Amino acid sequence: MKKTLLSLAVLLLIGTFAYSQVNSIRGSVTDLSSNVNLKNATISILNAKDSTLYKFSRVAENGAFNFQNLKKGDFILLVTYPEYADFVNKFTLDSVNKSIDFKTIDMKTKAKLLNEVIIKGQAAAIKIKGDTTEFNAAAYKIQPNDRVEDLLKKFPGVTVDAQGKITAQGKTVEKVLVDGEEFFGDDPTLVTKNLRADMVDKVQLFEKSSDQAAFTGVDDGQKKQTLNIVLKEDKKQGYFGKVDAGYGTDDFYQVQAMFNKFKAKEKIAAYFTTSNTGKTGLGWDDAGKYGASGNMEVTDDGMIMMSSSDELDGGGRYWGEGIPKANNGGLHYENKWNSDKQSINTNYKVGGLNVKTNKNTISQNNLPTGIFNTNSDNITESDMFRQKVDATYNLKIDTTSNLKVTIDGSIKNTESNNSYTSIGTRGDNSLLNTSSRSANNESKQQLFNLNAFYTKKLKKAGRNYSINISQAFNKSNSEGYMKSDNNFFNEDEVLTRNELINQFKDNDIITNRLASNITYNEPLSKFLNLVANYGITFSNSKADRKTYDASIDGRYDQLNTEFSNNFQADQLINQIGACLLYTSPSPRDLRV
């Protein structure tokens, strides 16, 4: 009994001693001027010696924070919150100061206290300047051949999953830039999985405003968590690529090769694909990585819309039937010069697609008047060959004005042949009808688009105007033959009616559209904007569609007026409009 009591006493003494050695800090983060707890504020504990990160957390809902089981030493407490000045305080944990209560930390907005805090030190791991957190790559140990994503995994508050998705400070990283520029597209994994970690000087984490907000100066609330990879001066060039190839049974194959080269602001990319597996071009992800571009359209209210409907990028006209044989290739070039005041982005793409289908369909219709069965065969072959070139030139005239010119043109040739036969029977298997149809068509299409977009900021923040001029030209010619022989039978299988069609069709279509639009934006307050615009559009369309029936001697010289027309349409549109845009203020904006 005495031994048991003695053991309990020893354990209590050990527990009390261990608890007395626990080092901790606590406190709360508040804006006392508005009496609001700043939940999710970032709390960082840095080693005072070299400013490396020791602990990292976020403020709770009630504004409180608490760190337990800290080691002894000299530290720096760093508190950050968007649009607030950083709070910095040195403290020491030792045998005398085991627990420190910072009580209420009163944060000041930058509007009231315009101070920048930079934590400096020998090879500092982290620097914080305003809303940007900067990681010094040299402060983290990497292995030979590590990629950028391996480096990111070492940063506090940053995670990278198996698919390459990056999360920083609880938010998904949507953009990864290289030296402040997009790197062959808008896919973060293209940078993180292809660039070596030893090429990196530093990594900056911030929230990037939308292009529209950057131009107008009006916060539209659209921000993306962004990483900017800053390369070492001697590492701002290189190349990478990949080759995927596969071969299977029944002579199915698929090959995709890509190459990318970069040097400072200059980037070159090339790709080639060939397959008969149903993959008719670059996948949607790869198309964005290797120079595929979309179309820009400015709407009547001045909004910029981006879209992509390129058959060569998206896979041609293949609907999942038959065996497609596809060959596609492309070149991409982009560069910036004159202190980034001028830039060019251009692409050339070429592609061909051949699809053959042989389809048999058996169907049955059960109607009140009886049962009808149909057995049909459809054989189709189509060929498409297309070339496209596009270029975008951007000129920063000065700090307040910008001119962007986009031009693209394409030539497409298509040829198709279709043969269709069917037999229809009644429920008692008596002959109902027969059909035989053949059609072939050849077409040529020429497309040309030009767009010039000028933007100008005025002295007052948020006051600006833009002018957009665009032209779209489309010319197509198609011709083809259609032959159809349909027979109908009564219940005794006696032919009662025959319909024979033998025609030649020739279509010529030209459309031309010229449009201009001017938009003016006037900020009425911090949260209210007036947007006014005026647009004028002139379009001209010509369509000459002719259908000829075959004469007795087989010549197609009998004009069929029912299926022919020839018209021209001119249209002039004037449009004026205005709207008020209201942005709901955040609680932080109301406090300021």
CB 411 within 8 A of CB 390: no
H helix or E strand, kind and range, residue 312: helix 311-314
Predicted model pTM: 0.63
Q: How many residues are present in the chain?
A: 592
Which residues face 567 on adjacent strands? Answer: 543
CA distance 508 to 293: 29
Joined together, the tokens standing for residue 265 give 């602001």
Burial code (b: 16+ CB inside 10 Å, e: under 16) for 117-147 equals bebebeebbbbbeeeebbbbbebbebeeebb
Joined together, the tokens standing for residue 537 give 């559009």
DSSP string, 327-352: EEEEEEEEEEETTTTEEEEEEEEEEE
* Cβ count near 93 (within 10 Å): 19
Task: Please give the class, per CATH, of domain 23-108.
Answer: mainly beta
First CA to last CA distance, the chain: 69
H helix or E strand, kind and range, residue 479: strand 464-489
Q: Tell the CATH superfamily of the 131-235 domain.
A: TonB-dependent receptor, plug domain (2.170.130.10)
Which residues face 257 on adjacent strands? Answer: 243, 272
The radius of gyration of the chain from alpha carbons, rounded to an integer in Å, stands at 35
Residue 39 DSSP symbol = T
Q: What is the pLDDT along the chain (592 residues), one digit of tens a residue?
A: 444 444 444 444 444 444 445 789 999 999 887 888 888 888 988 888 777 788 888 888 888 999 998 998 998 898 888 878 778 888 999 888 889 999 999 888 766 654 444 444 444 677 777 678 888 888 888 888 888 889 998 888 788 887 788 888 778 888 888 887 776 666 677 678 778 888 899 999 888 776 555 555 555 567 788 889 888 888 878 887 778 899 988 888 989 888 888 888 888 888 888 988 876 555 444 554 444 444 333 333 333 333 333 444 433 455 667 778 889 888 889 898 998 899 998 989 898 989 889 999 999 999 898 899 999 999 999 999 999 999 999 999 998 899 999 999 999 999 999 999 999 999 999 999 999 999 999 999 999 999 999 999 998 888 899 999 999 999 999 999 999 999 999 999 999 999 999 999 999 999 999 999 999 999 888 788 899 999 999 999 999 999 999 998 889 999 999 999 999 999 999 999 999 888 766 544 444 4
CA distance 532 to 161: 46
**Unique residue bearing structure tokens 């010094």:** 136
**Unique residue bearing structure tokens 């793409």:** 349
Q: Which of 421, 473, 419, 477 is nearest to 451 (CA)?
A: 473
Tell whether the torsion through CA atoms of 14, 20, 22 and 28 is positive or negative: positive
Q: Which amino acid is at 104?
A: T
Q: Where do you find CATH 2.60.40.10 in the chain?
A: 23-108
Reduced to 3 states, what is the DSSP secondary structure of residue 14? helix
**Phi and psi dihedrals of 511, rounded to 5?**
-130, 140
Cα torsion at 155, 158, 159, 165 (round to 10°)? Answer: -120
Q: Where do you find CATH 2.170.130.10 in the chain?
A: 131-235
